[in-house]
Structures are given as C-alpha cells and as structure tokens.
A and B are shown apart, each in its own frame.
Chain A
Amino acid sequence: EVQLLESGGGLVQPGGSLRLSCAASGFTFSDNAMSWVRQAPGKGLEWVSGISGSGGSTYYADSVKGRFTISRDNSKNTLYLQMNSLRAEDTAVYYCAKVVVVVWYFDLWGRGTLVTVSS
C-alpha cells in the first residue's frame, strides 16, 4: 500500500527541540522529492520545507530557516524534520507529503502529527 506515516510529534516547551519522522512505503522513495507542510489549529496550509530525491537540495520557508533541518535516509525510506528553537507559532499538525517526482505538487499526504509548543 502506498502510504506515509508521520511520528514524533508531542508537547515541547518554547526553545525546545523535536524530531519528526515520516516512514514511506509502496513507492520508490528515492525517486521522489519530499516536503513537510504544516497547519496551525483552525488555519490554512503552510509549506515548511522540501528536499530532493537524493537529498542534495533542500528548501525552507523563511519562517523556519535556520531553526529547522530537513533530511532523508533513502536506505530506510524515511524523511525527517529536525526542529530546534521552537516557538509557540510552530504549533501545528505537520504533514509529510510526497512530491510528484520533481514537480513540486503533493500527490500523497500522511495523516499528520501534532506538535504543540507551550510552557
């Protein structure tokens, strides 16, 4: 079955760190760029970060640049998002999304993992 499964969300204090993971199955993971997209409670979608299939190119929204790091392990079919210096405004459901090969639309999404930044 073609699917994405996120994990690693939870409650973290402001200034803290968290690492999200996304396990992919049912497709050739290394053939596809991948992304993280988030959605604050009751709000719209916000693209966070993207990475090429090889991992050699990475892209970030200005709101997370310098604090978040996207990476992937193609041998494990897994995508990661390392989140440091977390802020209250980072509170959101974080979705892992598969890019249409190298065309930056998202044709497969995970169910999301909730990150709550609060003291």
Chain B
Amino acid sequence: DIVLTQSPDTLSLSPGERATLSCRASQSVSSYLAWYQQKPGQAPRLLIYDASKRATGIPARFSGSGSGTDFTLTISSLEPEDFAVYYCQQRSNWPLTFGGGTKVEIK
C-alpha cells in the first residue's frame, strides 16, 4: 500500500499568514493526488485534485504543487474559515489511501 505522510501534524498560524502543508508518498503517485479540508463535525471537502487543479468553487488562495512523491498545499493568506484539518489522498494505486492529516490552528 502507498503510505502518505503529512507534515507537520499541527501548524499554528495567524490570519493573513501563509500556510505550507506537506504530503510525502512512500512511492511515486505521479500527479494523482488530492487535498481535502475538514472542519469539526463536517464532512471533508475536495480542494485540489491531480496535485494542482482547484476543485469547483475553491478560492484562488488555495494552490497545490508537486509530483512523484512530494506534494505541497499552500494557502497564500489564511482566512478565519481556513482553520481546519487538511488531508491528502492518492488514487495512483489500489487501495486508495489518505494521509494522517495536518491541523491548521489559530496561533
């Protein structure tokens, strides 16, 4: 199985700051990686797919980059509603796998 390792576990930042989240795969997933946002008590929401494509309705402050084994989700300027947990997910190989998540909290 492909293991996705996210770092850091927690990111403490203030509104307006830039957030950089990492997802590393145990083997190449090409560009077949997505990012999701999950707020407490809510279902996840698709943000980015195929490493760098924004899903419908996702603000431009969210961007994704990377290929192979190393991927980054960047939030250019944190809004109050962006404080949440973020997960990466690969679709390169079965079984589909998710990373363990990065919590972005208010500093």
Residues of A whose CB lies within 8 Å of any CB of B are 35, 37, 44-47, 50, 59-62, 95, 100, 103-107, 109-112
Residues of B within 8 A of A46 (CB): 98
Interface string of B21-44 (1 = CB under 8 A from A): 000000000000010101000011
CB-nearest residue of chain A to B99: A44
A105 adjacent to B87 (CB under 8 Å): no
CB-nearest residue of chain B to A111: B43
Looking at chain B's contact residues, the main secondary structure is loop
CB-nearest residue of chain B to A50: B96
A112 adjacent to B43 (CB under 8 Å): yes
Tell me the total A-B contact number using a CB cutoff of 8 A: 54
Looking at chain A's contact residues, the main secondary structure is strand
Please pick, from B44, B46, B56, B91, the residue contacting A45 in the complex, using a CB distance under 8 A: B44
Residues of A within 8 A of B100 (CB): 44
A100 adjacent to B49 (CB under 8 Å): yes
Q: How far is the CB of A60 from chain B (nearest CB, A)?
A: 8
- Given A47-B96, A47-B98, also A107-B91 (CB < 8 A): no
Q: B64 in the interface, Cβ–Cβ < 8 Å? A: no
Q: How far is the CB of B100 from chain A (nearest CB, A)?
A: 5
A105 adjacent to B34 (CB under 8 Å): yes
Q: How far is the CB of A47 from chain B (nearest CB, A)?
A: 4
Q: B59 in the interface, Cβ–Cβ < 8 Å? A: no
A45 adjacent to B87 (CB under 8 Å): yes
Q: How far is the CB of B88 from chain A (nearest CB, A)?
A: 10
- Given A45-B98, A50-B96, A59-B95, also A107-B46 (CB < 8 A): yes
Q: B97 in the interface, Cβ–Cβ < 8 Å? A: yes
Q: How far is the CB of A50 from chain B (nearest CB, A)?
A: 7
CB-nearest residue of chain B to A107: B46
- Assembly CA distance A46 to B99 (angstroms): 9
- Assembly CA distance A109 to B36 (angstroms): 11
- Given A105-B34, A105-B89, also A62-B95 (CB < 8 A): yes
